[in-house]
């Protein structure tokens, strides 16, 4: 899935990334089924790696999910992380800062939620909200946003140096696809609870958000905390891309089973 990774310093244009892309898979029922079967295998691998990660407790994995409303952040978590042990996984959703959070620097509330060693942490939205919404709505100047880019890079480099692998996913959908998903939320009683009138207001700023995302991805994709632009119009392919990338990230950790205690006689179950 390296084709979706944003290389450091790459000047990104989202129009060059097709949100309807399905890679080597065709948009047929047969290929969709194949992709789903492959994703299921990958989720089992994630669960196996997680057990080693938790047992060793010397590394951590942070997954960051960003995207426009309805891009599938909740669905990705549900489908890709379905097999992991909840005891070793924490999901954090970042809303508008509370008055207490606003009294501190913008990374304060984020640092508190970083996964401890042995855990997988998932950010459903993240510290990147503070360089997206603030820019689109003009509450921060371009210069201040660029300063925050630098602070985010330094923050993520700190986490990386402390043993945290960081994988960041921008779930890329088209404006037409977003409209269809919003209409589905309105028409389906079981999904209507997810509808928020604020989503319609933010939709009016689509072009401004695309520009903000382009600048964010360009400025903050690094070797130690890369961004992946994930085609997300097709949910089944979105899940496959994310699952495959997470497995690769866990494989790169070279996780092994921790050794048995040296002071135990396992034959007689006594302390040596």
pLDDT in tens, 40-98: 999 999 999 999 999 999 999 999 999 999 999 999 999 999 999 999 999 999 999 99
164-172 β-sheet, strand order:
89-93, 120-124, 60-67, 164-172, 227-231
Contact 48, 82 (CB under 8 A): no
DSSP state of 90: E
Q: Which fold has domain 2-271?
A: Rossmann fold (3.40.50)
Token pair belonging to 172: 């890329």
Neighbours of 247 (CB within 10 A): 20
Measured over the CA atoms of residue 162, residue 134, residue 228 and residue 63, the dihedral's sign is positive
d(CA 115, CA 63): 10
Cα separations (Å) of 170 from 32, 79, 234? 22, 17, 14
Contact 115, 60 (CB under 8 A): yes
Token pair belonging to 150: 């630098």
- Which pTM was predicted? 0.95
Separation of CA 261 from chain center: 36
pLDDT in tens, 201-244: 899 999 999 999 999 999 999 999 999 999 999 999 999 999 99
């Amino acid at each position: 899935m390296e084709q979706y990774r944003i290389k450091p310093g790459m000047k990104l244009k989202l129009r060059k990334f097709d949100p309807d892309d399905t890679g080597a898979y065709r948009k047929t029922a047969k290929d969709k089924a194949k992709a789903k079967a492959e994703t299921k295998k990958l989720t089992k691998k994630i669960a196996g790696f997680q057990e080693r990660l938790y047992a060793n407790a010397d590394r951590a994995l942070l997954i960051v999910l960003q995207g426009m409303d309805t891009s599938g952040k909740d669905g990705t978590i549900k489908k890709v992380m379905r097999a992991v042990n909840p005891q070793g996984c924490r999901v954090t959703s970042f809303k508008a800062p509370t008055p207490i959070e606003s009294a501190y620097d913008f990374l304060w509330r984020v640092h508190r939620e970083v996964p401890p060693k042995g855990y997988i942490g998932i950010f459903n939205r993240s510290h990147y909200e503070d360089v997206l919404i603030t820019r689109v709505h003009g509450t921060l100047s371009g210069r201040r946003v660029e300063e925050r880019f630098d602070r985010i890079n330094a923050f993520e480099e700190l986490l990386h140096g402390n043993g945290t692998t960081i994988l960041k996913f921008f779930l890329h959908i088209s404006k037409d696809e977003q409209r269809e998903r919003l209409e589905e939320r309105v028409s389906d009683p079981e999904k209507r609870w997810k509808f928020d009138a604020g989503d319609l207001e933010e939709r009016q700023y689509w072009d401004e958000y695309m520009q903000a995302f382009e600048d964010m991805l360009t400025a903050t994709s690094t070797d130690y905390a890369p961004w992946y632009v994930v085609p997300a119009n097709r949910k089944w392919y979105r899940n496959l891309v994310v699952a495959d990338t997470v497995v690769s990230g866990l494989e790169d950790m070279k996780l092994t089973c921790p050794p048995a205690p040296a002071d135990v006689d396992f034959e007689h179950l006594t302390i040596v």
